[in-house]
């Protein structure tokens, strides 16, 4: 699951924010099986001008290392944002 947060770490997922807002993406992993390692990599992509399908992806993407316990570091911040549509994708 991912959520977009502002600089104060308030959840602003699927909402409109004020001009100049700075945002970052946060991801959460959970295991269905006890004892299963969640270690790996999450790749964040930030899109401008639409959603994750119709927008233009910023390059480069950002890769973060996930701990065995499933702790996922937040993406780097984006902003201050101008008028427009934006989206984050975490894979």
Per residue in 12-28, pLDDT (tens digit) is: 999 999 999 999 999 98
Report CA dihedral (54, 56, 60, 61) to the nearest 10 degrees.
-30
Residue 81: CB atoms within 10 A of its CB come to 16
Q: Give residue-wise pLDDT tens across range 27-69.
A: 988 877 777 889 999 999 999 998 999 999 998 999 999 999 8
The reported pTM is 0.87
What pLDDT is stored for residue 63 in this prediction? 97
Quote the CA–CA distance of 7 and 52 in Å, as a whole number.
22
């Amino acid at each position: 699951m991912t959520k977009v947060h502002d600089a104060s770490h308030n959840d602003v997922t699927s909402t409109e924010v004020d001009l100049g807002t700075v945002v970052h993406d946060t991801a959460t992993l959970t295991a269905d099986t006890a004892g299963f390692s969640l270690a790996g990599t999450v790749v964040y992509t930030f899109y401008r001008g639409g959603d994750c399908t119709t927008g233009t992806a910023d390059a480069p993407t950002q890769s973060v290392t996930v701990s065995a316990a499933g702790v996922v570091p937040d993406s780097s911040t984006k902003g201050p944002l101008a008028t427009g549509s934006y989206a984050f994708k975490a894979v």
